[in-house]
Structure 1
Amino acid sequence: MSQLAKRSEVPAEHRWKIEDLFADQKKWDAEFEEVKKLLKQVPQFEGKLHEVKAVKECFALEDEISLHTERLYVYSNMKHHEDMAESTYQALSEKAKKLSVEVGEALSFITPEILALSDEQLQAMIGNADLAPYKKTLEDMLRQKPHILSKLEEALLAQVGNLSSAPGTIFGMINNADLKFPKIKNEKGEEIELTHGRYIQFLESPSREVRESAFKAVYSTYAKQKNTLAATLSANITKNLFYSKARKYPSALEATLYGDNIPVSVYTNLIAAIHESLPLLHRYMELRKKLLKVDELHMYDLFAPLVDEYKMDITFDEAKKTVMESVKPLGQNYQEILKDSYENGWIDVYENEGKRSGAYSWGAYGTHPYVLLNHKDNLNSMFTLTHEMGHAIHSYLSDSSQNYRDAQYTIFLAEVASTTNEALLMDYMLNKSTDPKEKMYLLTYYADQFRTTVFRQTMFAEFEKIIHEKAEAGESLTHQELSKIYYDLNKQYHGAAMVVDQDIEMEWARIPHFYNSFYVFKYATGFSAATSFAKQILDEGQPAVDRYLGFLKSGGSDFSIEILKRAGVDMSSPEPIRQAMSVFESLIEEMEKLTK
């Protein structure tokens, strides 16, 4: 089909049933007015949050307002995403956004007022049976208390907020607006302008010349701005150090992890366990070199296809069936929920004119989750389906088992359920495959996920740790220093089979995640936890399944590390990383067998 369908032409069975959230616009408007009315009740609690009765009623009102606001926000944005050119829903999503800000401002006195209580008063509230549904909220407030400042100091910090976003904003401007990449020749010898989007496509080119010239062109462009980019990244680190000192944390790393109550050992164990497993990555590099039939493996060969493009045509109906089969180890109830999602309008399937690109799972408490896809008939889209359904079923089970306040799980946990589904799908497909070419295609697809999501993100995480520690020790971070640290890490991670080209020393300058500090490690821990879960489920059967379903039902009712620990994945130990690495090793062994 060469022309995209208009939204109005999309058949009902391929659209999500958004009316399950709001039957019509009238219902949305009525709920919007309801929130406005409820907001008028908020000020009566100001100055009274030292009384148990007032705290209980205030929290209940906060939950009611938040849930209505979430529903309004989710609906208006999802309607907007159906066709982003449609002005009605652009306006509606703006209206919901403004309401959301208004709600945030109206409720902003609650936490500081409760934190003004003495530790004894707070402890008494935590132990009070009337406040049992809010025990975790109050415990968390008590935990955060040492790092909350006086009213005046908090007001000053709030005003610094705009300043603190400057390094990220400046980087975004340099990276997206000011940097101009040269033209390079593609496989046909045509001159094509290099862009961020085309860079990875060029690196995936079967032509080595194209890969090399794209690689050199990108890093020589960044090198021209090396002083400015080093100063920008350094300013971001200075900002992190300022906040961690102001809030009395021992280090910037601890300040960042404290919100989710993640021990620093989770971060350091990840790096240590990956160092221990570097021989596996080195072995994979040897294999890459052999499969690419090259004398030297260069940094620009890392994304080159290892097998001739193996075309897998998978219709949406086939993808649904395969995903359903692959989650069989999770039991009948899990499959029933998946069946319900297929049949009852959870999923918006195909691209249409004006529809938002990409894929996501979203929704509001009290209604089933929704999944937006832009399905193409290929392997990638089938993995996207199982990934997003992992999120959706996680939300569904959390919402069904927890009250509103405790249902929302953290970002640290979010990628675990989606990636567990992917691991189960990959295991199912590898076991079913009889064609050596197909098998090799799947194995390289999976092995590269380990390389990019676990090893590469851990290398990024280690780089962040080193540069923050240097800044904390009072050392300056020049472009020479940043480039040396980054280059040495690449040598350590990739091993002797790899020629670590000097140009790669500038890669730190193009990673936007470095402006959202200490975030990338969550990709590696999430992937490792998911691989560990899938391995336990496939090896142990029912006991592991029960633990895993318990994890999905826990939502955010406890701290992330504790929820995972109860389910059999202790991220404060290196064990889950080791289990994930044993899966990676088995992939390499299979690939080595097939290449003999």
Structure 2
Amino acid sequence: MKELVWNLKDIFRDEHEFEESFEVVKQKVTHLKQYQESNWSATILWKLLEEYWDMKEKCNCILIYGSFGYYKDVQNPSMIEQKRRVEEFSSQIDCETDWIPKQIVEIGQDVITDWMLQLPKLEKYHLYFDNLFRMKNHLVKDPKTEHENQNRINQKITEYTNLIHHMEFPNIQVEGKEITLNTSNMNKYLNSRNRDVRKNAFLSINSSYHEKCQQYVEIMNEIYKKRIENAHLGNNTTVLESVLMKEKIDATVIENLIQTIQKSLPLLQKYMSLKMQYLEIEDPHLYDVGVPLDNKNQHKYSLEDAIFMIRQALKPVGQEYLQIVDRLLDGHIDATLDPKKHQSITFSWNSYSFLNYKESYVDVKNLIHELGHIVNYELSHQNQPYLYEDSTIFVGEIASISNEIFLNRYLYQNAKTKGEKIFYLSKEIENYVTSVFRQTMYTEFEMELYKMATTDSLTTTKVITLYSQLQQKYYGKDISYDEEAKYEWMRFGHLFRWAYYPYKYATGLMMAGILVNGILTGTISIKQYIHFLSSGSSKYSLDLLKDLNMDILDISVMEKGLQILKDDVEEFEKLVK
């Protein structure tokens, strides 16, 4: 088959059209300004919004096209400059048109509601209006201070990134050779099949973080303090409230998640016990929990084989879905290896995906995961206006993670040996360990840190004590906890770079599990699922989930999200005993 490389002609036919588009967008922005001094009416508002979102779509095309060149050729100075240029242009256009939502808010919700009754086609913007007026109650009281705080947060995040990048670790011995550990190769040795290697890597890496702990805590303390202040400036009582408010997520979701996972910790600990027995480890330590059960399976999956497996795995979601997959495999995925490409990133943007396909199991999983994102986008693009065609992260992860579950189901059912069955089954279970249990642990950690930072300063003792308590609560009493284990949290960048991101991984996998079970048992129809994928962000996230019969404010629904894991652990126990 031909290589998987991008064909971006659906965005711009050539570089000439790309360059011309800058002027086209500028002219559209200039034309929009005529409305600024107009006497607005329902008709004028409709015309303004049609032109505004048309301009936004064209500006987004510039941003996408201009950025993609960089990922294809990361060392090329012209591509680096082009990416900077389109990002600045996009930011500039946002600034020049930010008067539009502000002026709509000034008109008032009652007037806008009357106009929608007068002019029914304005109803298209109902959710957009609802969001504007909902957010009005959280307008920042002191924009200057908020901006200064955000700049300081960005500075501290850069400081964190530089600190991580320049970490130095003691060398370790691997098969008689001295290996220098760094941030690029550490995961390889932390997950080594050789216990001495992973132990030495774990102790070496975390001892170095121990030495720098005070610096990391000081960075975290300032970031968290500034976020708390900004939350209060936006009329929010907590940082969590300010984060959830943006997607209209009820805090009950977080409460239900934590409560469900805490009740299910015996299931996690049972799996860990079975895994250690299978590995014949009598005194398990925390550095043992991540070792893969691959039985030295170094199987390679050619791209042709991967695409065949993906098509077979996705048969349960129907022919319409598979036809879109086939179409997107032609020019919408850039997976071919090239030394010029960005080597460590995998992403989807618009209906395009980027990865480096190296024929491993992880690469097959990444490919089907990213296909989930771009099929979701493509269906939304076909069925929604531009302003609603992007799904929220909270909902979008369901579309991608469910594909991973379908893949593992297919591979497990078609495994030829017991070793292969254990490999594929353990991969699915480990996904729950890392994406549900571990991410929920981070969410608990983050919540407690913000509570501490609200009333006092974070200190090294407070932070490592809290983290150690959570480790022991989650992994249980049968694991030995080395002193160095208390310091691993510093490596997890989302605790610094974003506020309350981890819970979305957990809810995404749990809801994907309900979805897959629903499709396979017929309680969720393919038609329902395609409708869900076609909805973009045309409803709030929790309302979209209700279209799949999921009300996750009901804790019993959240609990169903672990049914696949329960079945998998039961099956795993049969295989290894």
TM-score of the pair, normalised by structure 2: 0.94
Instruction: Give distance in 1, aligned partners of 2:491 and 2:570.
Output: 34
CA-CA distance at 1:495 after TM superposition: 1.2
Assess if the C-alpha contact under 8 Å between 2:149 and 2:226 holds in 1: no
Instruction: Give distance in 1, aligned partners of 2:429 and 2:238.
Output: 35
Give the letter aligned to residue 592 of structure 1: E
Assess if the C-alpha contact under 8 Å between 1:185 and 1:210 holds in 2: yes
**RMSD between aligned residues:** 2.0
Report the 3-state secondary structure (helix = DSSP H, G, I; strand = E; otherwise coil) of the residue aligned with 1:196.
coil
Correspondence 1:122-521 to 2 at 5 A: 122-125=112-115, 127-128=117-118, 129-149=120-140, 153-177=142-166, 179-186=167-174, 188-342=175-329, 344-357=330-343, 358-363=345-350, 369-472=351-454, 474-515=455-496, 516-521=498-503
Instruction: Give distance in 2, aligned partners of 1:246 and 1:94.
Output: 31
The equivalent position to 1:551 in structure 2, one of 515, 532, 536, is 532
Instruction: Give distance in 1, aligned partners of 2:259 and 2:466.
Output: 17
Give the letter aligned to residue 452 of structure 1: T
Assess if the C-alpha contact under 8 Å between 2:439 and 2:503 holds in 1: yes
Instruction: Pick closer, same or farther for the CA change 1:25–1:42 going to 2, 3 Å.
Output: same
Instruction: Give distance in 1, aligned partners of 2:147 and 2:412.
Output: 52
CA-CA distance at 1:60 after TM superposition: 1.8
Counterpart of 1:564 in structure 2 is 545
Report the 3-state secondary structure (helix = DSSP H, G, I; strand = E; otherwise coil) of the residue aligned with 1:498.
coil
Assess if the C-alpha contact under 8 Å between 2:529 and 2:548 holds in 1: yes
CA-CA distance at 1:51 after TM superposition: 3.9
Instruction: Pick closer, same or farther for the CA change 1:31–1:199 going to 2, 3 Å.
Output: same
Assess if the C-alpha contact under 8 Å between 1:49 and 1:114 holds in 2: no
Assess if the C-alpha contact under 8 Å between 2:239 and 2:499 holds in 1: no
CA-CA distance at 1:123 after TM superposition: 4.1
Instruction: Give distance in 2, aligned partners of 1:234 and 1:559.
Output: 33
CA-CA distance at 1:504 after TM superposition: 1.7
Give the letter aligned to residue 570 of structure 2: E
Instruction: Give distance in 2, aligned partners of 1:346 and 1:149.
Output: 40
Instruction: Give distance in 2, aligned partners of 1:575 and 1:593.
Output: 27
Give the letter aligned to residue 282 of structure 2: D
Assess if the C-alpha contact under 8 Å between 2:435 and 2:505 holds in 1: yes
Assess if the C-alpha contact under 8 Å between 1:126 and 1:138 holds in 2: no
CA-CA distance at 1:133 after TM superposition: 1.7
Counterpart of 1:7 in structure 2 is none
Instruction: Pick closer, same or farther for the CA change 1:124–1:470 going to 2, 3 Å.
Output: farther
CA-CA distance at 1:469 after TM superposition: 2.1
Output one character per residue of 1:142-187: Cα deviation in whole Å (capped at 9) or x when no partner.
111111146xx3344334431232332222232223x32222222x
Output one character per residue of 1:385-406: Cα deviation in whole Å (capped at 9) or x when no partner.
2111111110111011111111
Counterpart of 2:570 in structure 1 is 589
Instruction: Give distance in 2, aligned partners of 1:399 and 1:143.
Output: 26
Output one character per residue of 1:118-137: Cα deviation in whole Å (capped at 9) or x when no partner.
44334435555352121111
Output one character per residue of 1:365-395: Cα deviation in whole Å (capped at 9) or x when no partner.
xxxx223232122222211221111111101
Instruction: Give distance in 1, aligned partners of 2:300 and 2:490.
Output: 38
Instruction: Pick closer, same or farther for the CA change 1:160–1:588 going to 2, 3 Å.
Output: closer
Report the 3-state secondary structure (helix = DSSP H, G, I; strand = E; otherwise coil) of the residue aligned with 2:348.
strand
CA-CA distance at 1:586 after TM superposition: 1.6
Output one character per residue of 1:398-451: Cα deviation in whole Å (capped at 9) or x when no partner.
011111111111111221111111111111111122311111111111111110
Assess if the C-alpha contact under 8 Å between 1:528 and 1:576 holds in 2: no
Q: Identical aligned pairs, as a percentage?
A: 26
Output one character per residue of 1:255-288: Cα deviation in whole Å (capped at 9) or x when no partner.
1110010000111111100001101001011112
Give the letter aligned to residue 147 of structure 1: H
Give the letter aligned to residue 576 of structure 2: T
Report the 3-state secondary structure (helix = DSSP H, G, I; strand = E; otherwise coil) of the residue aligned with 1:116.
helix
Output one character per residue of 1:451-493: Cα deviation in whole Å (capped at 9) or x when no partner.
0111000000011111212333x24422111111111111110
Instruction: Give distance in 1, aligned partners of 2:294 and 2:338.
Output: 32
Assess if the C-alpha contact under 8 Å between 2:42 and 2:116 holds in 1: no
Instruction: Pick closer, same or farther for the CA change 1:431–1:105 going to 2, 3 Å.
Output: same
